[in-house]
Structure 1
Amino acid sequence: MSTTALQKLVTGSVIGPEDDGYEDARHVYNFMIDARPSAIVGCTSAEDVQAAVSHAVATGRAVAVRGGGHSVPGFGTADDAIVVDLSGLTRIEVDPANRTARAGGGATWAMMNDATMAHGLATTGGIVSSTGVGGLTLGGGIGYLNRAHGLSCDNLISAQVVLADGSIVTASEREHPDLFWALRGGGGNFGVVTEFTFRLHPVPENIYGGLILFEREAAGDLFRYFDRFIDDAPRAYGGFPAWHLAPPLPFIPADRVGEPFPVLVSCWTGEHEEGAKVLQGFRDVGPVMAEHVGAIPYTALNSLFDPLLPRGLQHYWKAVFTGDLTDDVIAVHAEHAQRMPAVNSAVHLYPVNGAVHDVATDATAWGHRDAKYATVLAGMWPDPADNAANIAWVKDYYAALAPHSLAGGYVNFASGDDQGKVRDNFGPGYDRLARVKRQYDPGNVFHLNQNIIPA
């Protein structure tokens, strides 16, 4: 397809297979995805998005929406698709007096945090700062602040959306409330969000926290202690237990690099002295191998894992929700995490409680507020030659956790081969989501996602 006709419809760039820059533009964050879209439209306005979507529908091509571009299943591209690239829509406007911020659909959490923390404010973002604001929020939005302030989607005030029919609407509690409900956890099924308006909260410039790596023999006691602690932990605590291979960092002894360790990742937004007492309780559980803990800018904590996760890795992830960390669950983690094949990989267990429980299960489309942990088995590695071994590690781990897990998994962590689990992943609101899908996208134009079939 010639891109000439499409270029006449938009003010942004249009890159096709015949153009310079296509090879770089067609690649997404996960380099396991090797699609060749028909065109990549660099949108600079909602009207550009409107034109690109309408052109795709008129020419019978799929619409792939690319916000921050972090979609592990590669939903931001597809063969012969029209890619609606929102990376030109990154403007962020902060209203410190009203504690709100408006963010373009292509903004990342690094951009968002930098803009809002300049005023001592933030909203719940992710764990990796290069993650897109849009994708994270539409799938729910778990991050360091969710125990204190709820999920990202709980803090969404309104959204500007380009619908499948090309119309541009605002969704909020007052306007298109059914669409607003669905956007908060229903993923990219209902349209292209070109602007988000969020509620902000005071966050200290320097939180107290960081990483503590424990010796492996402490894993069981660490996870059991965390499981008891988090039930009624102060909401100022926003950390999680994890497993990692020790990366080559200055505070880690060189002879321990590459070994698997149970890890505590902590974010304390209260008084530092109190945070130090809280973390000391964890240190008392068992021997510490290495740590990097203290006063740290919130923006730095939010980008702590970025160096391990550059664009261009191979990715394969699985997601599970679990309840209490029973001895059986802890044993599965200990067995499989210690086989972790790549230093980029990670296993994180994010608590789902605190302020997340202040919101009723049916108040938003994010329907797993009864879970205790959202666990991600994140396989990430640099060499495609290692794909089979790394994918097998994730699948075997996932199968071992399945008997101890709740139904479904967090959609933002789900893999591209999880379409058969979509109903469980979206949870009890799925039928309502399907009805909203029928109303706003009856032709399933937006199907490159964890797809909800119109009712």
Structure 2
Amino acid sequence: MSDEDIDAFAQQLRGSVLAPEDEGFEDATRLWNGLVEKSPALVVQPTGTADVVAAVDFARERNLLVSVRGGGHNIAGTAIADGGLTIDMSRLRGVVVDPEARTATAQSGCLLGDIDRETQLHGLATPLGFVSETGIAGLTLGGGFGYLTRRFGWTVDNLDSVEIVTADGAVLRASRDRHPDLFWAVRGAGANLGVVTSFTYRLHEVGPTVYGGLIAWPFDRADEVTAAYQRLTAEAPRELTVFLLLRRAPAAPFVPPEWHGKHICAMAVCYSGDPADADEALAPIRALGEPIIDLLKAQPYTQIQSYLDATQPKGNHYYWKTEFASELSDDLISTMERLTLDCPIPGAQVVVAHIGGALNDRDADDGVVGNRDATFVIGAAGMWEPDEVEGAVFRQWVRDAWTEFRPYSTGGNYINFQTMDEDEARVQATYGANFDRLREVKARYDPENVFRSNRNVRPSLPGEDAAGDAAGHSEHA
């Protein structure tokens, strides 16, 4: 790219073009996961869809790596195209709610908290994640799950339509009725099909007040707490979602000082049903008695959605390995308890997220997201300060823990939780039986693999077996 090329490109835009020496470049390329070190050659900050089209055309014509930055919260750092062009959507954060139609249309630079704030004005919500600073685009395009998933399914199960700029610069509206093959693939394929500029979601009556929060007990009661969790998740109504967290207690204001750094069993709770039924729904948790932390109460849904924000500060180093599971066996629970006590990472946690319910009601090919046999997300999540020198040791512990979890897996996994060192075979396992069809759709809308700075799915080639040689190609092939 010559300076003249860049100047001519900038003249086509209403938004900004930033180079590494420009003010604002550092903020535009700063990622949530400080473990990922990447830098693009250029950042484009669109103010509308026309700018996105110009950016895609510019990148395609020069064979530049192109990435899309929504919230920058992906653990693998896919928001940044190293040495390429990053489309930073952060200026596009409009949300329009239609309370009568029960829909919300949001631009793709929105964070989860932006949508929750606007929809909760009307006592409405859609299933999103559980950290309010996560970008909606990455979360949604990867499938998406959170506290409302048990009631209403994956985030993409609640997606009505998208506006998307495809690799040829076309602007399409995709839904079940318009470009249905593209809409099928968008629902779970990440940024492989183009740049989504807006999402329209279906909304449901939730809040504005729900019941939940955090509660925790000493780790020496782990057998009792985990047994109660097994029973609870087997019987809980879909309005109740409980995540299990096995970890050391953080030095947070709500944690008694004498428990800082000690092992605990915690639950993150959200009951979104009839308030009159909250006591009955939470009775199995209350029956455990004598918690060391008890923040369970009636509170705004938006507060529940942001409870875990402070536990994942931007800039720390993060390294996760997760799987989907269909059940919590005694052997799996025992493995989790042992790994928690053996963990050398002060800020790590072993996690169980209960997601089973509405997502299991749909067909396996209802959206490429698949994984309709998943009931739990299980995993080891490492977090440490950037200046801690034992990063390699910490990452190895996470990988070893993951190896022990894999025998309990459904065989699928969540694309949004894949780290930067996972190969295409892992991507293929994400989509299972839907993978071949996804490659065919990719070939129709992005035959040259313009959108490859992601968890990449290569387009199928003429005469090639659709599955191809998944393990034999790099992400940027």
SS in 1 for 2:76: coil
Deviates more, 1:265-274 or 1:201-210: 265-274
Matched, 1:305 2:338: no
Matched, 1:442 2:447: yes
The question of whether the paired residues in 2 share the 8 Å contact of 1:218 and 1:285 is answered with: no
Deviates more, 1:21-30 or 1:115-124: 21-30
Matched, 1:158 2:167: no
Alignment of 1:249-268 (within 5 A): 249-268=252-271
Alignment size in residue pairs? 455
The residue that corresponds to 1:30 in the other structure is: 33
The residue that corresponds to 1:146 in the other structure is: 149
The question of whether the paired residues in 2 share the 8 Å contact of 1:140 and 1:152 is answered with: yes
Matched, 1:330 2:333: yes
The question of whether the paired residues in 1 share the 8 Å contact of 2:237 and 2:281 is answered with: no
SS in 2 for 1:422: helix
TM-score computed with the length of structure 1 as normaliser: 0.96
The residue that corresponds to 1:428 in the other structure is: 433
Cα deviation, residue 107, structure 1: 0.5
Residue 283 of structure 1, aligned match among 266, 276, 286: 286
Counterpart CA distance in 2 for 1:45 and 1:324 is: 45
The residue that corresponds to 2:125 in the other structure is: 122
Unaligned residue ranges in structure 2 (runs of 5+): 461-477
Cα deviation, residue 286, structure 1: 6.6
Alignment of 1:132-281 (within 5 A): 132-281=135-284
The residue that corresponds to 1:41 in the other structure is: 44
Query: RMSD over aligned Cα, in angstroms?
Result: 1.7
Deviates more, 1:346-355 or 1:308-317: 346-355
SS in 1 for 2:390: helix
SS in 1 for 2:451: coil
The question of whether the paired residues in 1 share the 8 Å contact of 2:248 and 2:262 is answered with: yes
The residue that corresponds to 1:362 in the other structure is: 365
SS in 1 for 2:370: coil
Counterpart CA distance in 1 for 2:369 and 2:113 is: 24
The question of whether the paired residues in 1 share the 8 Å contact of 2:357 and 2:375 is answered with: no
The residue that corresponds to 2:402 in the other structure is: 398
SS in 1 for 2:374: coil
The residue that corresponds to 2:468 in the other structure is: none
Counterpart CA distance in 1 for 2:68 and 2:293 is: 41
Unaligned residue ranges in structure 1 (runs of 5+): none
The question of whether the paired residues in 2 share the 8 Å contact of 1:36 and 1:78 is answered with: yes
The residue that corresponds to 1:453 in the other structure is: 458
What percentage of residue pairs aligned between the two structures are identical?
A: 39
Residue 350 of structure 2, aligned match among 347, 352, 355: 347
Matched, 1:113 2:116: yes
Counterpart CA distance in 2 for 1:249 and 1:134 is: 30
Residue 374 of structure 1, aligned match among 373, 377, 397: 377
Matched, 1:12 2:15: yes
Deviates more, 1:380-389 or 1:62-71: 380-389
Counterpart CA distance in 1 for 2:235 and 2:287 is: 19
Moved over 6 A (4+): none
The residue that corresponds to 2:413 in the other structure is: 409
Cα deviation, residue 12, structure 1: 0.6
The residue that corresponds to 2:464 in the other structure is: none
The question of whether the paired residues in 2 share the 8 Å contact of 1:27 and 1:35 is answered with: no
Cα deviation, residue 52, structure 1: 0.6
SS in 1 for 2:86: strand
Counterpart CA distance in 1 for 2:52 and 2:125 is: 28
